[in-house]
Amino acid sequence: MIRFGIIGTNFITDWFIETINQLDYVEVTALYSRTESRVKEYAENHSIVHTFTSLEEMAQSDVIDAIYIASPNSLHAEQSILFMQHGKHVLCEKPLASNVQEVTRMIEVAKENHVVLLEALRNLFMPNFERVQQAMEQIAPVRRAVFNKSQYSSRYDLYKKGENPNTFNPDFSNGSLMDLGVYLLGPALKLFGQPKDIQANGVTLESGVDGSGTVLLSYADLDVVIMHSKIHATSTPSEIIGEKGRIVIDDIATCDEVRLELRDGTSEIISETQNAPMSYEIEAFVRAIEARNSETDAHSATDMIRLADVMTTVRKQVGVIYPADK
């Protein structure tokens, strides 16, 4: 049984706890929040025994084996490193950190302390993403992929009223690329590898973060178009287009439905019914711990560094700079 501690008391941690409660090989034993009242209330609502308002004390405690980090992006690196230096495994929400320099350091610390560090980029671990990978041969050679994830943020109206929600605050290393674009770039880089050229542009808000953006990844024999937004919505699916057909993905972030359409006119649903979205990343994380592996095949250390490197490059081209970059 792997005992998790949690940093964060938000809707994402609600999902995490709901998922954990469906699994019989993990449990949540501790919770951190900056304020005593908040941590006590949240822990009571979710039947969590141990509470902390000090990260140092939590990292030193013997009531957890691993930590799930769902704090603001700008805190991921510092918090992950603290817990790994105390021998705790780390499952950290996407994006893993603010930039590639932080990610590289985090992976170094994980190796130094012989612990597992994993970015919780859920779609890479889902069975239906594996179905996508398996179907690539049937449409090969692939010539183009178009990945889209655009949704109107519930916080955008607050931003337009003059408030400064975390979602659009560069101090927290936020923005459309970090929140949604990562769901597109992760699969793209996993499927096609390191691009030979990257071109990016986007809409930069007055706060300094990107509200939306487009990225073109160029390869020797194909192009990949990435479109993400937090300031407008579309239901356009994602697709991978080859000379023999195409793979259509309803929502690249969840891969709930995947359809294979061949040039001869045949079409079939190749996806399966999936369990709770977060269950697959948790399972991969626990397997790595039990096998004493430092990384997973679905999202290796090389994958995490490459993703962070491309995202850092994209931000620089768009002109989005975080305090962590300085």
For the chain, the residue count is 326
pLDDT digit string, tens, across residues 99-156? 999 999 999 999 999 999 999 999 999 999 999 999 999 999 999 999 999 999 999 9
3 state DSSP class of 294: coil
3 state DSSP class of 293: coil
- Cis, bond preceding 165 (omega within 30 deg of 0): no
User: What pLDDT band is residue 168 in, cutting at 50, 70 and 90?
Assistant: very high
Answer whether residue 292 shows pLDDT above 90: no
Amino acid at 217: L
Answer whether residue 293 shows pLDDT above 90: no
3 state DSSP class of 55: helix
Answer whether residue 222 shows pLDDT above 90: yes
What is the SS3 assignment for 213-264?
EEEEEECCCCEEEEEEECCCCCCCCEEEEECCEEEEECCCCCCCCEEEEECC
Element (H, E) at 271: none
Question: Cβ neighbours of residue 318 under 8 Å, at least 6 residues apart?
Answer: 177, 200, 201, 202, 204, 210, 213
Element (H, E) at 52: strand 50-52
Q: pTM of the full predicted structure?
A: 0.96
3 state DSSP class of 319: coil
Answer whether residue 164 shows pLDDT above 90: no
Q: Alpha-carbon dihedral of residues 308, 310, 314, 320, nearest 10 degrees?
A: 20
